Amino acid sequence: MSTPHRHQTPLRGLKAIPRPRPDNPDYSAVNYEYAGRIGHIHEVVSIDGRQLAKVGFDDRKIVYFLLEDLELDEAAVRGTFHDR
C-alpha cells in the first residue's frame, strides 16, 4: 500500500536548479546527473512530512528532488516543457 501524499502546485513552472548534498542516500545516480542543470517545477508533493519537487528538464526527463535541495529563481519566467 502506498503512502498517502498531498499535491501542491503554487510553485508550478518555477525555475529550479538542483543542488543535492554529496553522498545523500536519498538520491540515485540520476539525481546527481541532473544536479546543477536548469529545470522547472511541475509539482510539489508532501510524503511523510517531506516535500519532494517533481522537476522537468529540457530533455523532457522528470526527476524528483527534495524541495530544500533546489535553488529557486522566482524572478524567472515560469513554465514547464508542457507549456511550450
**Which CATH number goes with the domain that contains 16?**
2.30.30
Question: Strand 39-47 to strand 50-57: parallel, antiparallel, or no bridges (unpaired)?
Answer: antiparallel
Q: Which amino acid is at 49?
A: G
Total number of domains constituting the chain: 1
Domain housing 62:
5-83
The torsion angles phi and psi of 56, rounded to 5 degrees, stand at -105, 145
pTM score over 0.85: no
The HSE-up count of residue 78 (CA atoms within 13 Å, CB side) is 10
- Judge contact between 52 and 44, C-beta under 8 A: yes
Q: Is 32 helix (H, G, I), strand (E, B) or coil?
A: helix
Q: What is the pLDDT of residue 1?
A: 45
Model confidence at 11, pLDDT cuts 50, 70, 90, reads confident
* pLDDT tens-digit series, residues 39-75: 999 999 988 889 999 999 999 999 999 999 999 987 7
